[in-house]
C-alpha cells in the first residue's frame, strides 16, 4: 500500500512564487545539513529510525485500537487471532504479507462483513474462520498463495458468501468447509494444486454449487463431499490424479450433476458413492485404475447405468453394488481383474443387464460373493463366459437364478 503525505507551507499563503519557496526550502535544508556536518563527525550522524514492519510473537486483537497498532506491519512472526464483539475495520492490516504461525478469525459476535488481507501471501500455520455468529460475507485474500497448515471455514451460522481464492496454490494440512448453514456456493480455487491431508466439504445445508477446482491434482488423505442436502452441482475436479485415503460422495440428497473426474487414477482407501437420491449418471471415472480399499456404489436411487470404470483393474477390499433402485445395466468394469474381499451385486430392483465384468474370474475374488435379490435380473440370458465371476457363493431372489453354459 502506498501512502501520500499532504502538507501546506505557510509561505504558500503569502503569494510568494512557488519557485522562490522551493529555492528557500532547499537552501535552508542545505545550510542546516552543512551546519550539522560542522558540529558532528560524519560517522556520528544519527540514522533516522526505520518504520517497524515485523511484529514478533503471537498477537490477539479484539478492538479497533489494537488493530490500528498493526498498521504497516508486513510480517507477524507468530499467530494472529482476530476475535471479540466489536465491529472491526481491518484495513490497517492491508500491508500484511506473511503470518508465520496461524491466522485465526474466531468468535466474532458483531462483524457482518469481513474485508481485508488483500496483500497476504503466506501463512505458516492454519487459516481458520470459524464460530462466528453474525458474519455474512467474507471478501479479500486475493493474494494468498500458500498455507502450510489447514484451511478451514466452519461453524459460521450466518455466513452466505466466501470469496474466490484465485492465487492459492497449496494447503499443507486439511482443507475443510463445514457446517455453514447459509453458505450457497464454493467456487474460485482455480490455482489450488495440492492438499496435504483431508479435503472435505460437508454439512452445509444450503450449499448448491461446488466448482472451480480444475487445477487440483493431489489430495494426501480423504476426499469427502458429504451431507450437503441442497447440493445440485459438483464439478471441475478434472485434474485430480490421486486421493491417498478414502473418496466419498454421499448423502447429497438433490445432487444431480457430477462432472467427470477425468484424470483420477488411484484411490488409496475406500471409494464410495452413496445416498445421492437424484444423481442420474455415474460415468465420471474413466481413468480410475486402482482402489486400495473397498468400492461402494449404494442407494443412488436415480442412477440407471454404471459405465465409466473401464480401466479399473483392482479393488483390494470389497465391491458392493446394491440398493440402486433404478439401476438397469452395468456395462463398465471390463478391466477389473482382482477383488481382494467380497463381491456383492444385490437389491437393485430394475437391474437387467450385467455386461461389464469380462476380466473378473471367480478365483480372483478373495471373499464371499453374491448376486441376489435383483428382481428383474434373468441370469439365464447370459452365458457363463460373459459372467466369468460365476459361480457365486449366493445366487437367489433374482428373476431367474440359473445361468446357461458357454
Contact yes or no for 140/22 (Cβ under 8 A): no
* pLDDT value, residue 4: 35
Average pLDDT, whole number, for the chain?
87
- Tell me: cis bond preceding 391? Omega within 30 of 0 counts: yes
* pLDDT value, residue 46: 45
Q: Is the pLDDT of residue 168 over 50?
A: yes
* pLDDT value, residue 51: 65
% of residues, the chain, pLDDT over 90: 78
Contact yes or no for 68/47 (Cβ under 8 A): no
Q: Is the pLDDT of residue 49 over 50?
A: no
What are the extents of the domains in the chain? 265-406
Distant-in-sequence, close-in-space partners of 212: CB < 8 Å, separation ≥ 6:
164, 186, 187, 188, 189, 190, 236
pTM: 0.85
Contact yes or no for 106/85 (Cβ under 8 A): no
The mean pLDDT of 154-159, rounded to a whole number, is 97
Contact yes or no for 382/404 (Cβ under 8 A): yes
Distance in angstroms between the alpha carbons of the first and the last residue of the chain:
78
* pLDDT value, residue 371: 96
* pLDDT value, residue 47: 44
Q: Is the pLDDT of residue 318 over 50?
A: yes
Residue 365 grid coordinates = 475374488
DSSP assigned state of 158: T
The mean pLDDT of 138-147, rounded to a whole number, is 97
Q: Which DSSP string corresponds to 345-361?
A: EE--TT--EE---TT--
pLDDT 10s digits, 82-98? 999 999 999 999 999 99
* pLDDT value, residue 257: 86
Q: Is the pLDDT of residue 12 over 50?
A: no
Residue 197 grid coordinates = 491431508
With cut-offs at 50, 70 and 90, classify the pLDDT of residue 319: very high
Short-list 239, 302, 250, CA closest to 273: 250
Total residue length of the chain? 406
Amino acid at each position: 500500500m502506498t501512502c501520500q503525505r499532504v502538507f501546506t507551507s505557510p509561505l504558500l499563503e503569502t503569494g510568494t512564487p512557488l519557485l522562490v519557496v522551493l529555492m528557500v526550502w532547499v537552501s535552508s535544508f542545505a545550510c542546516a545539513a552543512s551546519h550539522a556536518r560542522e558540529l558532528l563527525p560524519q560517522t556520528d550522524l544519527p540514522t533516522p529510525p526505520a518504520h517497524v514492519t515485523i511484529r514478533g510473537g503471537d498477537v490477539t486483537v479484539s478492538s479497533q485500537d489494537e488493530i490500528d497498532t498493526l498498521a504497516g506491519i508486513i510480517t507477524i512472526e507468530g499467530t494472529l487471532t482476530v476475535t471479540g464483539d466489536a465491529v472491526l475495520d481491518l484495513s490497517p492490516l492491508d500491508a500484511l504479507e506473511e503470518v508465520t504461525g496461524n491466522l485465526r478469525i474466531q468468535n466474532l459476535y458483531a462483524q457482518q462483513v469481513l474485508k481485508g488481507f488483500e496483500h497476504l501471501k503466506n501463512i505458516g500455520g492454519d487459516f481458520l474462520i470459524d464460530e462466528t455468529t453474525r458474519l455474512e460475507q467474507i471478501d479479500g485474500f486475493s493474494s494468498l498463495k500458500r498455507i502450510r497448515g489447514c484451511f478451514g471455514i466452519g461453524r459460521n451460522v450466518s455466513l452466505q458468501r466466501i470469496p474466490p481464492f484465485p492465487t492459492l496454490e497449496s494447503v499443507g494440512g486439511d482443507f475443510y468447509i463445514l457446517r455453514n448453514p447459509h453458505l450457497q456456493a464454493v467456487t474460485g480455487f482455480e490455482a489450488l494444486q495440492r492438499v496435504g491431508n483431508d479435503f472435505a466439504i460437508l454439512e452445509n445445508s444450503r450449499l448448491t454449487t461446488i466448482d472451480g477446482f480444475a487445477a487440483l491434482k493431489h489430495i494426501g488423505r480423504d476426499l469427502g463431499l458429504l451431507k450437503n442436502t441442497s447440493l445440485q452441482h459438483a464439478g471441475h475436479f478434472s485434474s485430480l490424479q490421486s486421493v491417498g485415503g478414502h473418496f466419498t460422495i454421499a448423502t447429497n440428497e438433490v445432487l444431480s450433476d457430477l462432472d467427470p473426474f477425468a484424470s483420477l487414477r488411484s484411490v488409496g482407501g475406500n471409494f464410495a458413492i452413496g445416498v445421492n437420491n437424484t444423481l442420474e449418471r455415474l460415468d465420471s471415472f474413466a481413468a480410475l485404475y486402482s482402489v486400495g480399499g473397498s468400492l461402494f456404489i449404494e442407494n443412488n436411487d436415480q442412477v440407471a447405468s454404471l459405465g465409466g470404470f473401464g480401466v479399473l483393474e483392482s479393488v483390494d477390499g470389497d465391491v458392493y453394488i446394491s440398493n440402486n433402485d433404478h439401476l438397469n445395466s452395468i456395462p463398465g468394469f471390463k478391466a477389473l481383474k482382482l477383488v481382494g474381499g467380497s463381491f456383492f451385486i444385490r437389491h437393485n430392483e430394475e437391474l437387467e443387464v450385467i455386461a461389464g465384468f469380462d476380466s473378473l474370474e471367480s478365483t480372483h475374488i478373495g471373499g464371499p460373493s453374491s448376486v441376489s435379490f435383483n428382481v428383474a435380473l434373468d441370469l439365464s440370458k447370459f452365458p457363463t463366459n460373459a459372467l466369468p465371476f460365476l459361480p457365486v457363493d449366493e445366487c437367489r431372489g433374482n428373476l431367474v437364478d440359473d445361468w446357461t453354459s458357454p
